[in-house]
Structure 1
């Protein structure tokens, strides 16, 4: 009998605990096991198929192992017994050759079929389809609606019930775009463009993440997909196309002046951003007050906005805003007041 010491028991226990926790998600909206769209369901079906086949093979192998270990175990009564030799048995050799081929075909056929269904490029995109350009940057996401001439960030808004086609690339280093409930991940590269489509059955908020290690704040590179009705989507488009309203509050006006001197070189507050893509080096803030998160990770509250403006490095290490300018407490209060007036939904 094998006896494990205290340290070995602890190690085995921790290993089993890590294995168990590896299958857990702290948030239900980050699970691939609850698909909310056509793309996600297709991938889940493949996962379930392969898992079922692997489980079946494992069970059969374990049963054979237990049977052979029990029947042919060495005992004093059978120590001179030589089991029947099956070397060269053509039936057995054909059987254990054909079975893996059948299993491979069962997996390959739906996998190849799904691959062709998910594959897309510019030529395959219907002319009347909604197209969105997605760019991954350190550590945020830009979403451009070229046909509507809208640029926004962090919140991807789509209508339900139809395929949305995405053109993806990276603006600095390699990232990966992943919405667990809607679609599998796809790389965003600096030297070429990738394409994919997503589809949401019902209205709701679906959370996405960067799935490629890209720097110290990789784990904080989050975004949201807001699926709304077709009517709500058209209303959102119309609101985003309107000019940004000027603030009326005195503090917010002062913040606007500070923003124009310190921040406008990187951030735009017009969703119809006329600047070329290379000049869009920071998130578009035209609908900042409509978002639920600051920097994509903190709740949108005045306190969190001020914390972000005061010390971006503490919230997202390695971000490009760190050290770009230093504002006094009064200036930060004013800029915060201005940012919280940047709303498109309440115009």
Structure 2
């Protein structure tokens, strides 16, 4: 008996702990705080379906309770209740009501499905091959993200930068295994496949972006390997004029020798050990098959190192020293050999100096 009570106490404690912890987390990481039109549509559908389901559960529970209380066997009463073989009225009621509820749920769902799948704007090309709509080509790899802006002619990785208050269209695909592109606050969640390109649009509300510090969180939502849970990226949602400034700065990135001797020495190490996979200019004209690792043109401006570590030189050195420790199964492990402490310092200084935003 005591063992059973102990188990129930533990279950209660863990239940309460789970309830408390469910309210923890980073701002605007949840689908319950939509930050744009697509996210709001999904949120409204979720609320509608939840209200319908909860309503059905409440009605059925009340009917069950009434039946149990009203028709329970009473002491000393051995009579058999009146037997009801069937009721056309009741059968019609409990058939029609679910049909009506399904219709109420189906109509906005179908409308929203077609609305969210409308990506015709990204197919309307001008004479020079560009589009009036902002298009981003998303490529998922183990365990990092690449974002190519074909109209602007720039490539970046890990940090997706988008303007607020306008639809942004995405072509999503994978380079190795199936992944899933998901920005919870913005909506979406769509598979990135190797064999085909999927399309989706998202929009970021400027006011909500300001509340979130202009940073949202993106994740891989498809189990893809041992570091699936660490395959994150950040989204910078900024006003159009700031986005235009960022594009201009990215276009102007070029490989130049740093003035700091430590960083200059790091650049030489980078050329010997890293340049075959990583690019340091955003105007990367190589085909995507040749882009084997994240573009580092704006590495110094990023929010995190490898998408998971704090953005400072110490964490850069930790990552360079042992990538496998932080992201098991990543393709960078063992590709450039061991680095001395001095080489780590120099390489970290060079990487942190790769900035486009002053």
- The bucket for the TM-score relative to the shorter chain is over 0.9
Equivalents in 1 of 2:247, 2:239: separation in Å?
12
Map 1:2-21 to 2 at 5 A: 5-6=4-5, 8-10=7-9, 12-13=11-12, 16-17=15-16, 20=19
Kept in 2, the 8 Å contact 1:216–1:317? The answer is: yes
Give yes or no for contact 1:241–1:272 (8 Å, CA) kept in 2.
yes
Q: What's the secondary structure of 1:35's corresponding residue?
A: coil
Alignment partners' CA distance in 2, 1:317 and 1:329: 23
Query: Does 1:319 pair with 2:318?
Result: no
Aligned to 2:253: 243
Match of 1:92 among 90, 96, 108: 90
Deviation string for 1:50-69 (max 9, x for gaps)?
Answer: 11111111110110011000
The Cα of 1:89 is off from its aligned counterpart by 1.3
TM-superposition CA deviations, 1:243-268 (whole Å, max 9, x none): 32431111111111110010001110
Aligned residue-pair number:
344
- Contact 1:125 1:165 (8 Å CA) reproduced: no
User: Does residue 136 of structure 1 match 2:133?
Assistant: no
> CA RMSD for the aligned pairs?
1.9
Which residue in 2 is equivalent to 1:308? 319
Q: 1:18 to 1:188 in 2, by over 3 A?
A: farther
Q: Which moved more, 1:122-131 or 1:196-205?
A: 122-131
Cα distance, 1:35 vs structure 2: 0.6
1:314 deviates by 1.0
State whether structure 2 residue 275 is matched by structure 1 residue 264: yes
Structure 1 CA distance for aligned equivalents of residues 12 and 82 of structure 2 = 40
Tell me, what secondary structure is at the counterpart of 1:77? Answer: coil
Contact 1:122–1:195 under 8 Å retained in 2: no
> Which of 218, 223, 227 is the aligned partner of 1:208?
218
State the partner residue of 1:224. Answer: 234
1:181 paired residue number? 185
More displaced 10-residue stretch of structure 1: 165-174 or 324-333: 324-333
Going from structure 1 to structure 2, the CA distance change for 1:284 and 1:225 (only over 3 Å counts) comes to same
Q: Which residue of 2 aligns with 1:344?
A: 356
Range with bigger deviation, 312-321 or 110-119: 312-321
SS at the partner of 1:29?
A: coil
Shift of 1:299: 1.3
Structure 1 gap segments, 5+ residues each: none
How far did 1:328 drift?
1.2
Distance, in Å, in 1 between the alignment partners of 2:233 and 2:227 is 13
Alpha-carbon offset, residue 183 of structure 1 = 1.0
Separation in structure 1 between the aligned mates of residue 101 and residue 223 of structure 2, nearest angstrom: 34
CA deviation map 1:253-303 (0-9, x unaligned): 111111001000111001111221011111000000011210011111110
Please tell me whether the aligned partners of residues 282 and 297 of structure 2 are also in contact (alpha carbons under 8 angstroms): yes
Residues in 2 aligned to 1:16 and 1:106: alpha-carbon distance in whole angstroms: 34
Q: Contact conserved, 1:25 with 1:31, CA < 8 A, in 2?
A: no
Q: 1:157 to 1:106 in 2, by over 3 A?
A: same
Aligned match of 2:305 in 274, 294, 305?
Answer: 294
Question: Scaled by the length of structure 1, what TM-score is found?
Answer: 0.94
- Give the whole-Å Cα distance in 2 for the aligned partners of 1:123 and 1:337: 43
TM-score normalised over the length of structure 2: 0.91
- SS of 1:259's partner is helix
Contact in 1 for aligned 2:28/2:216 (Cα 8 Å): yes
CA separation of 1:35 and 1:123: change in aligned 2, threshold 3 A: closer
Tell me what 2:128 maps to. none
Match of 2:47 in 1: 48
- Rounded to whole Å, the distance in 1 between the matches of 2:44 and 2:121 is 28
